[in-house]
Amino acid sequence: MKTLTAKMVRQLEAQLKTQRAAMLEAARAELVRGEEQSYATYAGEVPDVGDQAAAALMVDFDNEIARRHGVAMRNIEDALKRIKEPYFGVCIDCGDDIGIERLTVFPTAIRCVTCQGMREKTYAHGAIPTL
């Protein structure tokens, strides 16, 4: 596998900073939108049970969007910290290089493709209830 050069790391760092700026803007826009639209906006002045359920669903949806923005921001910040460390681009499970191709597409990656695939297969059914 090709070792990351200083130039590649600088390009990945610039890409992460661009993603961070875009994520901050998206989060800011969501917060502004959330402030402008209250529960009453969703449900109306005299809501019925159906309107209340729809409004609650919209609020939950907005909360999930905010949570995902938070997770993405943490992943970007963690990747920017790892760039300063000698183990950036090294899989946390097997210790092999993650690979520039994967890092270019997914610069916050902490696992190589093989280990990520194994993790997804192992934990894919964690949220599905069983009898």
Instruction: Tell me the pLDDT of the chain (131 aa) as tens digits.
Output: 467 888 999 999 999 999 999 988 888 887 777 666 655 555 555 567 777 777 777 777 777 787 888 899 999 999 999 999 888 899 999 999 999 999 999 999 999 999 999 999 988 765 555 55
In which residue are the tokens 């999930």 written?
64
112 neighbors 97 (Cβ within 8 angstroms): yes
Full set of structural domains in the chain with CATH: 6-123 (1.20.120.910)
CA distance 55 to 77: 33
In this predicted structure, what is the pLDDT of residue 22?
Answer: 92
pLDDT at residue 58 in the model: 75
Q: What is the 3-state secondary structure (H, E, C) of 41-62?
A: HHHCCCCCHHHHHHHHHHHHHH
Predicted local confidence at residue 38, as pLDDT:
59
Please give the pLDDT value at position 68: 86
**Element containing residue 1 per DSSP (H, E):** none
Query: Residue 1's pLDDT is what?
Result: 46
DSSP letter, residue 128: S
What is residue 112's predicted lDDT score, i.e. its pLDDT?
95
What is the structure's pLDDT at 79? 94
For position 52, what pLDDT does the model report? 72
pTM for the full model?
Answer: 0.70
